[in-house]
Amino acid sequence: MKPALTRRQFLQGCSAAIAAMSGAKLTNLAFAKQDNPSDTLVVVFLRGGWDALNVVPPMDGDDRGFYEKARPDIKIQNLLRLNDQFGLHPAMSPLYDLYQQGKAGVIHAVGLNYDTRSHFDAQEYIELGTPGAKNTASGWITRHLQATGISSILPVVSTSGQPTSVLNFVPTVSLSTPDEFSLWDNGLRDSHTNALRTMYAGESLVHRAGLRTLDALDIVRPLTGGEYQPSNGAYYNDDDFGRQLKTVAQMIKLDAGLRVAAVDFGGWDTHEYQNDHDGGYMADLLNSLASGLANFYLDLDSGYTNKLSVVVISEFGRRLVQNESYGTDHGHGSVMLTLGGSVNGGQVFGQFPGLQNDQLYDRADLAITTDYRSVLSELLAKRMGNADIESVFPGFSQGYNPLGIYQ
């Protein structure tokens, strides 16, 4: 009995037919196996340094006292209980259900253990994966894919430019929406692409890049022009973050071997009035984040979540003590979130160092007890088929200490 053709085979066949028609070689047609050998990783980078202590504040005990004393005007109450020690900002309620179901976890007092409070430096170090060294020629995701080899036509998408984490990864396709990633049509587009396949049939880097682009256009084209219908009644907010997640969901559902997606979410540099007006813009940001992630998960809970890992990271947390403008200044230790079908969720991971003056970093900020690379290393080892930590985070493998976040 002939098995039904999948959408993927259909696309593959069409690409092959076009290539064969124009005499192009098929070396760049790169669909590998039916299944992704590992998870699809979605990295959400919160630009600006989110106020982790107001996202996951202490609920009880001495630390609650230090927290309230340091933040008389901006402390968060009515928390969603995570465990005996911590609660979640109420604006994050859409994600709370997934936490209770064990699909989402929290890592506290985590971050970049390097002495900088510069956005630029901290983001750069985190994304390069080499704290203290800026001249690294590749991002950490680049090195992971280099170590594991890539086997698909569309291994990486970025929905906001070319972030440093994929620095010098040539096949990255950056697109904010599928519609943007299209060849402008003067009425003779198919004639154009036929000619281009002939002209770009060659071995040089320029030729290979051209064929990759043509292949990627073929893959993305079915997504353009139409209205996307998310599964399970999921709904994406009409904001920048929602649109990016919607694009990533579409790319995952193409079954074209997407390995990593990079998503950016900006606006977290809350120096002023972060809680004004009913929770303020910090609450709006958190609600957009939580609602976006929850609906993304719901949408992909149609056969994709068992191979999905989402991590949320920011370049640093913020100062314990509120500033004169009812905001917070650049700090140090932060919170990471993780989401996916294979997360040991419903827990707060990491050792909390405390908020007493002597327990703080530089007597000002939440200290770091878990290096962010430890979380990513565990993810790579357990979910991404890459136990070679040293290849991704050179010099770090000695410090790798898995917290049991992933199955």
Partner 1 sequence: MQTRKLTRRDFLKLSGTFAATSALAACAPGEETPTAAPFESTGQSPVIQPEAQTQLPPVPMAILALSRLTFGIRPGDVDAFNALGSSDDERLLNFINQQLNPDTLDDSDFENRYNNAGFETLYKSHEQIYADHIASNPYDSNDDAYWEWYSKPAYELADATVLRAVHSKKQLVELLADFWHNHFNVYFWQDDGVPLLASYNRDVLRTHMLGNFRQMLEAVAKHPSMLYYLNQNNSSDAGPNENFARELFELHTLGAENYLGVRDPNSVEKDANGIAIGYVDNDVYEAARCFTGWRIDDDLGDWEDGIEKTGNFLYYKPWHDRFNKLVLGRYIPADQEDLKDGYDVLDLLASHPGTARHIARKLCRRFISDVPPESLVQAAADTFLQYKDAPDQLKRVMETILLSAEFKASWGGKVKRPFEAAMSMMRALNSDFTRIPGGVHWMLGLMGQALFERRPPDGYPDMREAWANSMSLLFEWNFAVGLTENWLDDDDTGYKIRSDVMAQTPAEIRSASSLADYWIQRILNRSLPEASRNAVVAVMAQEYGWDETLTEEHVQYVLPAMIEVILMSPDFQWR
What part of residues 163-202 is at the interface with partner 1 (CB under 8 A)?
168-175, 180-181, 183-196, 198-202
CA-based nearest residue to 95, from 246, 232, 238, 293: 293
Choose between 151 and 369: whose C-beta lies nearer to partner 1. 151
Choose between 250 and 370: whose C-beta lies nearer to partner 1. 250
The dihedral sign for the CA sequence 13, 15, 20, 26: negative
Q: Please, what is the minimum distance in Å from the beta carbon of residue 287 to partner 1?
A: 24
CB burial of 236-253 (b: ≥16 within 10 Å; e: otherwise) equals: beeebbbbbbbbbbbbbb
Q: Is 395 in the site for partner 1 (CB under 8 A)?
A: no
Choose between 198 and 325: whose C-beta lies nearer to partner 1. 198
Instruction: Find the part of the chain contacting partner 1 (CB under 8 A) among 6-14, 236-244, 371-379, 391-399.
Output: 6-14
> CB-based burial of residue 184 (10 Å sphere; 0-12 exposed, 13-18 middle, 19+ buried)?
exposed
Binding partner 1 (rule: CB under 8 A), the pick from 150, 321, 364, 403 is 150
Q: Please, what is the minimum distance in Å from the beta carbon of residue 217 to partner 1?
A: 7
Number of chain positions touching partner 1 (CB under 8 A): 82
Q: Is 208 in the site for partner 1 (CB under 8 A)?
A: yes
d(CA 105, CA 101): 10
Q: Is 387 in the site for partner 1 (CB under 8 A)?
A: no
d(CA 407, CA 174): 31
Instruction: Find the part of the chain contacting partner 1 (CB under 8 A) among 56-64, 139-147, 239-247, 281-289.
Output: 139-147
Residues 47-76 that bind partner 1 (CB under 8 A): none
Contact by Cβ (8 Å): 141, 91: no
CA geometry: angle at 266 spanning 104 and 216, to 5°?
Answer: 80
Instruction: Find the part of the chain contacting partner 1 (CB under 8 A) among 31-39, 65-73, 93-101, 285-293.
Output: 31-39
Contact by Cβ (8 Å): 163, 262: yes
